[in-house]
Structure 1
Amino acid sequence: MTAGRPAPLGATPDAHGVNFAVFSAHATRMVLCLFAEDGRETLRIDLPERDGDVWHGHVAGLRPGQRYGYRAHGPYAPQDGHRFNPNKLLVDPYARALTGHPIWHDALYGYDPAKGPDSFSTRDSAPYVPKGIVVDPRFDWGGDCPPDTPIEDSVIYEAHVKGLTRLHPGASPPGTFAALASAPMLEHLTGLGVTAVELLPIHAFVDDKFLHDKGLTNYWGYQSLGFFAPDPRYHDGGGIAEFQSMVARLHAAGIEVILDVVYNHSCEGDETGPTLSFRGLDNASYYRLAPDRRRYVNDTGTGNTMNVDHPMVLRMIMDSLRYWVEVGHVDGFRFDLCATLGRTATGFDPGASFFDAIRQDPVLTRVKLIAEPWDIGPGGYQLGAFPPPFLEWNDRFRDTIRQFWRGDAGMVPRLADRITGSARQFDHSGRPANTSVNFVTAHDGFTLADVVSYAQRHNEANGEDNRDGHSANWSDNMGVEGPTADPAIMAARARRQRNMLATLMLAQGTPMLLAGDEIGNSQSGNNNAYAQDNEIGWVDWTAPDMGLRDFTAALIAFRKGHPILRQKRFLHARERAADGLPDLFWWREDGQEMGQADWEDAGRTVLCVEKRMAAGTPRYAASEAAVFLVFNAGGAAEVCLPPARSGWHWVLRLDTGRDAGAVAQPVSGSLACTAQTVLACVLEPLT
């Protein structure tokens, strides 16, 4: 053992051995523990140097593959926020790989469960804690070229690595990174036309004890243990190399990779949780503590909140993000409960250190950044409050589209706002209309098939007496709860799905599609499948609805083919388009412009809009002057077309009343719109 270096943090191999560096501001001694492959602890060595709050040392002769962990000595004083216990083996927060997952046992707790969370446990936790693995992350990327898809051209596909591939007959090995990048999956994704996959958490995570005791698992993965290590359940022993290979194959197919990341809390829970890493290394630094420092601030609903205000915690997050971009070549991040990352002592602040750090970073400013704009703390709902270049998940889009197509009263004005980029929330600070990440469904909630098949949630399998999950789903079973063989109900459900997908793809903003929705995947009415690592949570490929898949692909192609639908500038009707006319018209069915009384009519079920290219926007194509969209949640209607200038005519290109959706029919004067239908016409030059 020699002094080594304080940077970089983590276990870094070189030609002579491995350098170890770990942060702790309040420890009095830091012990490196080495393990054999069979799990035996073979050596304990004190890290000999401390620079500031970084403990470090270099061990000659070690190589990649070495197992290790730490034991931190210091005060065990819960009343002061300190919970050091050298009997507990601790995972290195910077570990690039882990041997597995914790084995639930009372020894994992820093306290004696029989005596309460202020007591002190003398039991050794090493047999039950995963070990870090020294990794050399170098990878031959060859000619890898990230697609770098402009956000205005992006169509995001939210997926779970295992859930998407576990039941796919051609994806192998099932449930892994390799399966996600297999030829059959690439064929499906490229055929669909999506530009990016947004993966639910792939960082190493823990199965909560309460789930373990029920025989369930933390399927979604929102309980991170290591922010640098891919979870072992998603690879076949190859670790980061398998992840890198997946990214390279997806990039070669023109598909970006966005990671859902969970930096707002850790898997250690509150004061009654286990001591696995952060708590034992420096509880008072890593976590935001309550005034009673025995307890934790819980803005996340998971028991604890990471202390992003601390410079070393912020550094860890930034180092992790850069690692996945530079080593993993990922193309962006979706930040779980991002409002928490912007919290300071006075509440949420769009100028918080986390946002400032990212916005000045030359690596992170070139990738896509998406915020989940809420948490459960005071003032936690912050939709529209994030600084550029952050995009934001827009749950109001989801709710409005579901309510409009369900037939709820007074939804036309809200729909108008949603299909023009939710300007009320996002048109400020130079933010583009693509800031709104529009979705009708996501992992958290009903699938699209279930939105039209269930009026109530059915989460009994979660073991919480059906109390968990959203209660306000704005769903509709169309007359029968769950599956039915009634052809009329089946047809109505199919059309409702087409209508919602069409609304998603025709709206300004960045569309996000939930994996499986395009083939009619159901979770049997479970709207909170976080613990269902089984057929409930997995995408069912046994009988895919290929008609819906083809319709979805046609929708995506239509969106890509019409720049007016994808423009970045907000449309406000007062602006002028390239042809001198306003860039936005709201029409009644009779051809008259909408008036105040029309907007206030709660019984109105039809919205007609004419969109043109916003003023100052470069013309992308001379093949279209305007797009006319009709959203009809009511009965059959005759709709007058807007005037067409000389040399141009309207062509009906989309009709959700038809199974295939795609149309190529010149129209003039007016057109018949069947009940419960979306129409899209394009003003094209006469040939």
Structure 2
Amino acid sequence: MYKTSARGYLCLALALLVSVTLFANDFEKQLLGNINRMARDMHLASRAINESGNEGAVAALSRESASVDNLKRLIASLETADQIERASQQIRMYGYRVTNQAEKRAFEESLNILESRVKYLAQTENPQLMANLNAMQALRKEFEGKQQNRVGTNVSDRMQLLARTSATTSATAAPRKTSRSSEAQLGAHVINGNTAFSVYAPDATEIKLHLFKNAADTKGVEHLMTKSAAGIWHKILPGELYGTYYGFTADGPKTPGFLFDPARLLSDPYAFANVDHDGKSIVVDRSFKWTDQNFKRPACKDAIIYEMHVKDFTAHQSSGVKAPHQGNYLGMLHGKSSERVLGHLKQLGVNVIQLMPIHEFDNKFAGVTNHWGYMTSHFFAPECSFASAKSGQAVKELKTLINGLHNEGFAVVLDVVFNHTAEGDHRGAALNFKGFDNPGYYRLMDDRKFYWNGTGCGNEMRTENPMTGKMILDSLKYWQKEYHVDGFRFDLGTIIDKKT
């Protein structure tokens, strides 16, 4: 009996030793693999900044940011002094092998991340780890002489570069005559007799564009899209495809955090018109003749702001507005010479109208009427339920409203909701963002099935991610330029990162 127990304990000890050894070897491989990928993405980002223009640069920087995040998650699994020492030795060995600028930056970023982890553990769990921290500081000094002529070596520097890059990038940039320009603009754009479709999905392995004649069609014409090095998929088709309905299907990794489903039709995150929050996107003619050139915004100190809901303001019979304008965009232009609607606002002395959310939103979020509009699904498309129909009319009718308000002396401010979206938490369907780049657009928990929910609305947009921050800036500039909007009110603005 005793001999059998001893033999069993010996086998158990050997099994544990093998398991620990295998775990250590696996971690070391993962660590080196992550550092190498980070160096590669840093190299590609630097090249994109120099060669591919703003759109490609922002996308490449987004991939670099994702690589850094992956390494942070891996190093966050370290707990013991032995694990930290192994990681430190692997980074040291990598440092001796660096041969170019990207590898130097990857080495230093890896050391920064490991040092932050050790500081945290030493301050909260094991003060003895200060010895490991001192060893890493010595390692840093050892390589200081090898780290000369660094350019943007830390994440903050790269994010600042991104901010400068994003600030000059717009979804409405003037089209050039090259196909490369057509591919760079996200969304659907009619350029030089062709229609160009572009969508960002850096980790997707296949994206298909689907075109439909009608909004209710279930079968469309498929077109396989092409992926650029920056993670932007594009397809250029002949003809001005105004009035065409479209969507995408996306396939890719099935690992935790990704929600690729090649059987699910996704709408365009950059759609300029969409059929409700969960329908197809529309190639829409955005041309409009503006007559508000002489309008001047009131000074901030003189602003008298009236907040209103587009539908509610004229939905009741007391407004005097009849169908078909009752409760929609054009209804707000009624009553100029009366005591109702516009006449009422003039009597109040109002000079700024703040519209509650008019980005396309989910009217029935989680089965509950969402009347106010704070569940945005598309940040470039006007809410279609406020228009006379749902096949793109909202674009012209909202422009008509803003043009008319300007000509009557009213500035227009939009209430915008960039802190969360209508896709909700892990129970919510993938409408667009989730299906293309779930870990890029949203802040995920350690169990990547779940979402951070500081908004109380199911998710938080990962605004610190370069492409998410770019999308927000693109949207703001789009509404200012395309719709002549005068300002914005940010809902739950503290959820948005400071750099964005």
**TM-score, scaled relative to structure 2:** 0.60
What one-letter code is carried by the residue in structure 1 that aligns with 2:355?
Answer: L
How far residue 76 of structure 1 moved from its aligned partner, in angstroms, is: 2.0
Higher strand share: 1
Kept after mapping to 1: 8 A contact 2:186/2:197: yes
**DSSP 3-state at the match of 1:152:** helix
Runs of 5+ consecutive residues of structure 1 not aligned to the other structure: 103-129, 343-351, 355-687
1:156 and 2:333 aligned: no
Kept after mapping to 1: 8 A contact 2:333/2:405: yes
Kept after mapping to 2: 8 A contact 1:204/1:224: yes
Partner in structure 1 of residue 431 of structure 2: 276
1:320 and 2:475 aligned: yes
Kept after mapping to 2: 8 A contact 1:154/1:195: yes
Alignment of 1:88-487 (within 5 A): 88-102=264-278, 130-167=279-316, 168-172=318-322, 173-182=325-334, 183=336, 184-212=340-368, 217-237=369-389, 238-342=393-497, 352-354=498-500
**DSSP 3-state at the match of 1:6:** helix
Kept after mapping to 2: 8 A contact 1:139/1:241: yes
Q: Which of residues 183, 187, 208 is equivalent to 1:10? A: 187
How far residue 14 of structure 1 moved from its aligned partner, in angstroms, is: 2.2
1:68 and 2:218 aligned: no
1: CA distance, partners of 2:301 / 2:330: 29
**DSSP 3-state at the match of 2:440:** helix
Kept after mapping to 1: 8 A contact 2:245/2:280: yes
How far residue 162 of structure 1 moved from its aligned partner, in angstroms, is: 0.7
**TM-score, scaled relative to structure 1:** 0.44
Kept after mapping to 2: 8 A contact 1:3/1:56: no
2: CA distance, partners of 1:264 / 1:275: 17
Kept after mapping to 1: 8 A contact 2:276/2:361: no
How far residue 45 of structure 1 moved from its aligned partner, in angstroms, is: 0.8
Divergent runs of 4+, >6 A? none
Kept after mapping to 2: 8 A contact 1:146/1:331: no
**DSSP 3-state at the match of 1:95:** coil
2: CA distance, partners of 1:220 / 1:143: 29
How far residue 98 of structure 1 moved from its aligned partner, in angstroms, is: 1.0
What one-letter code is carried by the residue in structure 2 that aligns with 1:171?
Answer: V
What one-letter code is carried by the residue in structure 1 that aligns with 2:273?
Answer: A
Higher helix share: 2
1: CA distance, partners of 2:231 / 2:483: 28
How far residue 74 of structure 1 moved from its aligned partner, in angstroms, is: 0.3
- Total equivalences in the alignment: 311
Q: Report % sequence identity.
A: 38
Q: What are the superposed Cα offsets for residues 569-591 of structure 1, whole Å, 9 maximum, x if unpaired?
A: xxxxxxxxxxxxxxxxxxxxxxx
What one-letter code is carried by the residue in structure 1 that aligns with 2:342?
Answer: L
What one-letter code is carried by the residue in structure 2 that aligns with 1:55?
Answer: W
Moved more, 275-284 or 37-46: 37-46
Q: Which of residues 221, 228, 237 is equivalent to 1:50? A: 228
Kept after mapping to 1: 8 A contact 2:480/2:486: yes
Partner in structure 1 of residue 206 of structure 2: 29
How far residue 177 of structure 1 moved from its aligned partner, in angstroms, is: 0.8
**DSSP 3-state at the match of 1:87:** strand
1: CA distance, partners of 2:486 / 2:210: 36
2: CA distance, partners of 1:4 / 1:60: 16
How far residue 136 of structure 1 moved from its aligned partner, in angstroms, is: 2.3
Kept after mapping to 2: 8 A contact 1:4/1:58: no
**DSSP 3-state at the match of 2:243:** coil
Kept after mapping to 1: 8 A contact 2:332/2:341: yes
Does 1 or 2 have the higher relative contact order (CA < 8 Å, sep 6+)?
Answer: 2
